[in-house]
Amino acid sequence: MSNITLHTLAARKAAGEKFAVLTAYDATFAHQVSSAGIEMILVGDSLGMVLQGRDSTLPVSLEEMVYHTEAVARGNQGAMIMADLPFMSYATPEQAMQSGAELMRAGAHILKLEGGRWLCEATSMLAERGVPVCAHMGLTPQTINKLGGYRVQGRTRESALEMIEDARRLEEAGASMLLLECVPTVLAQEITANAGIPVIGIGAGPHTDAQVLVMHDILGITPGRTPRFVKNFLAEGGSIQGAFALYAEQVKNGSFPASEHGFE
């Protein structure tokens, strides 16, 4: 696979072609993921839960994110690398500049920040300085204490309209991508149709431009309850490499996610 860039993914959206995103946290798995036809690796702060055994993403530090981004960059075979800015590392635009610079130096190609329109100033400042931003909306795990649990977002008309407006403002501010987590399928479809930038979904139905999942989830090895939007690709793929390739294939041909993986 030739190197994937923002231009590559924007062209996929324009052509109506879907692309796949999957987490990885080290060099070995980054090599396997990027060799399986998956266009983007997410170095997620989900590592706090799947690697460190914590009950949320909040304890993950910027130093830990830098460490894992460096490891992923060493194993990557041409995929685009998106890295999370962790909890309270971008509370102000100035802090976002400093934290973002560390992750970009570590090998990230785009940064993911959780939030709505309050991110517009930081997004503009980063974009103006050549740093691409993916704005993560809907269920934002870093605000889990305020949300009161892992709940579907945007189900009321008021909250749906607010999310639509947030998406519009963030794109206008310079965001290069949006990510929608655990939002109703119809809402995700509307945001995707109106956005001029690629929209990635997780628990957001089949109409987004791309899908993202946590690697441990698609391998069926995450302890505890399996989220509705997850599918065990290892069971059908037969091997880790087969699971990654099958995930990429089913995202691109539109067979994943199916209706049972979304929310009304």
Instruction: Report the C-alpha dihedral over residues 35, 36, 40, 46, rounded to 10 degrees.
Output: -100
Catalytic residue (one of 181, 249, 260, 264): 181
Would the annotation count 84 as a binding residue? yes
Would the annotation count 46 as a binding residue? yes
What is the rounded CA–CA span in Å between residue 109 and residue 6? 9
Nearest-5° angle of CA 104, CA 109, CA 111?
A: 70
H or E element that contains 121: helix 120-128
How big is the chain, counted in residues? Answer: 264
Would the annotation count 146 as a binding residue? no
Angstrom distances, CA of residue 220 to CA of 197, 229, 238: 31, 13, 12
Would the annotation count 26 as a binding residue? no
CB 72 within 8 A of CB 33: no
Closest to 40 measured CA to CA, from 193, 179, 210: 210
Q: Is 181 a catalytic residue?
A: yes
Would the annotation count 55 as a binding residue? no
Instruction: Indicate which residues carry an active-site annotation.
Output: 181
Per the annotation, binding residues for 3-methyl-2-oxobutanoate are 45-46, 84, 112
Per the annotation, binding residues are 45-46, 84, 112, 114
Per the annotation, binding residues for Mg(2+) are 45, 84, 114
